[in-house]
């Protein structure tokens, strides 16, 4: 009671100031908390971390050189040359087989070491600059797909898939990503490729942009469509078990894959859905029913639908 009697008049007189001070204190505390939170997310890299960060920055910035080296190997037919040399070769023999100037040997060695490190070829022996010529370069499963003329049911030559994905038009679209993000584009949003070149990616109108690009893309997509269909049939046979009808959608050469499925599973009735221009040029096959259409609008009914992506 005495405390209430003594302090109540003071409290009434200073109530406003107390509220103001309390609010000010809360704001200051909130500012302090935000500052501490920001400080907690700040990093102070060690010397070792900075050195690693610099190495990673170089690696990420120069990743594109691996794709360019792969393109170079495909255009020089290096996988096919190694295959023709028995599946393994030294650098001098490779230079001779490719009919390249002898002065390019050390530079070809750099390309091959990069591709070995990237898992595109295999290598035995020395890999240092001074002994690069002693290294033996071999094919692995990846580079085997880039060998031309292999007679194997499971082999699909993937040269044009590589050349399509690293073509100038594709690379230019990748380089324009920042500009694409800055643009306020109407919906439906065009892809960076369409925004830059005016035609959709892998579309029938691609020919209007570049006929050679259209041919390479067609060949590349067809090779991809038929890649590993034999492996899929063997390793995933359970997904086809019990099926009596299947619709195969949008393979550039879907008849080839569909025929392989029917051969392995004769009870399946297979329908291939594709665009008109693809159906028109597809080889005739009595075992497969070809239907013109667009999977984004309608798909022929079946127990299962297969999409190769």
Kindly state whether residue 55 falls inside one of the protein's structural domains. Answer: no
pTM of the entire predicted model: 0.74
Given a cut of 80, whether residue 10 has pLDDT beyond it is no
Kindly state whether residue 149 falls inside one of the protein's structural domains. Answer: no
Whole-number pLDDT of residue 169: 94
CA angle in degrees (0–180, nearest 5) for 68-71-72: 90
72-120: pLDDT as tens digits: 999 999 999 999 999 999 999 999 999 999 999 999 999 999 999 999 9
Lowest mean pLDDT among 55-64, 168-177, 189-198, 203-212: 203-212
Residues 124 and 166 in one domain: no
Backbone angles phi, psi at 300, to 5 degrees: -55, 135
Whole-number pLDDT of residue 224: 78
Is 162 within 8 Å of 74 (Cβ atoms)? Answer: yes
The CATH number for 265's domain is 3.40.50.150
Residues 215 and 270 in one domain: no
Is 82 within 8 Å of 139 (Cβ atoms)? Answer: yes
Q: Give the closest residue to 81 by CA, choosing from 99, 94, 69.
A: 94
Kindly state the percentage of the chain with pLDDT values over 90. Answer: 46
Q: Which domain holds residue 299?
A: 238-307
Given a cut of 80, whether residue 270 has pLDDT beyond it is yes
Residues 139 and 163 in one domain: no
Mean pLDDT for 173-198 is 95
Cis peptide before 188 (omega within 30 of 0): yes
d(CA 307, CA 309): 6
Tokens found for residue 84: 């023709």
Residues 68 and 138 in one domain: yes
Q: How many structural domains is the chain composed of?
A: 3
Whole-number pLDDT of residue 8: 46
d(CA 76, CA 162): 13
Residues 130 and 77 in one domain: yes
Mean pLDDT for 193-199 is 94
Place of tokens 């239907």: 291
Tokens found for residue 155: 């082999």
Kindly state whether residue 25 falls inside one of the protein's structural domains. Answer: no
Whole-number pLDDT of residue 154: 74
Kindly state whether residue 45 falls inside one of the protein's structural domains. Answer: no
Local confidence band at 27 (pLDDT 50, 70, 90 cut-offs): low
Beta bridge partners of 307: 249
> E strands, the chain, where?
88-90, 122-124, 136-138, 245-249, 269-274, 289-292, 304-307
Kindly state whether residue 70 falls inside one of the protein's structural domains. Answer: yes
Tokens found for residue 17: 């100031």
Residues 167 and 215 in one domain: yes
């Amino acid at each position: 009671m005495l405390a209430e009697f003594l302090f109540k008049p003071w409290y009434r007189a200073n109530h406003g100031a107390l509220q103001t001070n309390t609010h000010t204190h809360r704001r200051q505390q909130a500012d302090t908390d935000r500052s501490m939170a920001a400080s907690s997310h700040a990093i102070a890299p060690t010397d070792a971390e900075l050195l690693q960060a610099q190495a990673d920055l170089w690696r990420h910035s120069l990743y594109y050189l691996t794709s360019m080296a792969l393109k170079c190997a495909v255009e020089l037919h290096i996988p096919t040359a190694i295959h023709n040399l028995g599946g393994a070769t030294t650098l001098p023999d490779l230079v001779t087989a490719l009919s390249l100037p002898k002065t390019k040997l050390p530079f070809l060695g750099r390309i091959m070491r990069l591709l070995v490190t990237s898992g595109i070829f295999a290598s035995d022996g020395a890999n240092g600059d001074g002994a690069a010529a002693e290294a033996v370069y071999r094919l692995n499963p990846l580079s085997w797909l880039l060998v031309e003329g292999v007679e194997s049911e499971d082999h699909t030559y993937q040269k044009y898939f590589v050349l399509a994905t690293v073509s100038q038009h594709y690379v230019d679209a990748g380089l324009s990503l920042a500009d694409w993000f800055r643009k306020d584009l109407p919906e439906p949003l065009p892809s960076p490729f369409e925004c830059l070149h005016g035609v959709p990616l892998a579309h029938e109108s691609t020919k209007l942009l570049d006929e050679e690009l259209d041919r390479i893309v067609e060949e590349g997509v067809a090779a991809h469509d038929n890649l590993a269909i034999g492996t899929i049939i063997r390793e995933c046979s359970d997904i086809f078990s019990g099926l009596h009808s299947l619709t195969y959608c949008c393979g550039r050469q879907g008849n080839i894959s569909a025929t392989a499925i029917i051969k392995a599973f004769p009870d399946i009735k297979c329908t291939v859905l594709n665009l008109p221009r693809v159906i028109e040029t597809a080889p005739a096959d009595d075992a497969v029913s070809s239907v013109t259409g667009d999977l984004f609008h309608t798909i022929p009914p079946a127990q299962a639908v297969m999409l190769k992506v």
